[in-house]
Structure 1
Amino acid sequence: MINASDDPNTDNPGHEDALPPTTQHAKQYAAVRNAHETELIEDYVELIGDLLKHQGEARSTDVATRMGVSQATVAKMMRRLKSLDLVVSKPYRSLFLTRAGEAMAEESSKRHAIVLQFLRALGVDDDTARIDAEGMEHHVSQETLDIMQRFAHEQTPVQ
């Protein structure tokens, strides 16, 4: 029979694998839920910003192709982004970011770049680093991003 004090799945502060205190554990899950709520919005806004920057325009068809989703899915998300005042469009024209959308795209792009550089500095191959960075960028704190950025900078040889 296992004693509660021997069980690594209980709040046992002296054990490395112990559950964190209840309030900390709740904070962790709340942070993940919050990140999940915003990550899809940030991904769309970041992609629109990238398309505008690299191709000069962001068309719904390009967004659908690059996101690997249907035109209907993009149309639904564009209605949501418009209601959040992040995107504007005109009939038969490209998508454009509002000031709020531009700010979100820039911030998301910076976060993405830091995580990508960090993974590359760890030695993760480029394809895997790109895939992993896409999800991770939404789930790390500013403190973690700062440390990732410092680490990546220290690992990059000066040229």
Structure 2
Amino acid sequence: MAVAFTLNGAPAVVEAPEGMTLLQALRGPLGLSGPRFGCGQEACGCCYVTLDGEPRPSCALPAQAAAGRRVVTVEGLGSPEQPHPLQAAFLAEQAGQCGYCLSGILISAAALLAREPDPDEVAVRAALEPHLCRCGAHNRMIRAVLRAARMMREEERA
């Protein structure tokens, strides 16, 4: 079954047989590597994407659920030439170690900042709570999200 949707701002169509998850479609035929397979049970956060602006695990979501919707992966946040403020802040705060969990964390943080441009630490911690990171970089990640929020507000004022 062909599934058509918007992926990182561009039209996408993928042939998705019954049982194929959105994560499998993204990593397989669509060739993206940002969303990662972690647990396969929606419990670790490595596979998060936004679906119509809401962060969602993609590892158990049927690919057909994306039909007609907007999907954003970490690849859609920014580029090396023009990184998203979150990407710049994570680098500045040295908020990633192994990086396995970061794509999902960046997606959830971007969704938070889209709906709440001036979050406090409690809101950031709540938004990142579904994500499992074994490196122990959580405090740096929290600082990075707060830094990105400041950067985005400053850009808006300029």
| Greater per-residue strand proportion | 2
**Same structural fold, with TM-score higher than 0.5 when normalized by the shorter chain:** no
Q: Between Structure 1 and Structure 2, whose CA radius of gyration is higher? A: 1
Q: TM-score under structure 2 normalisation?
A: 0.29
TM-score between both structures, scaled by the size of structure 1: 0.29
More helix by share: 1
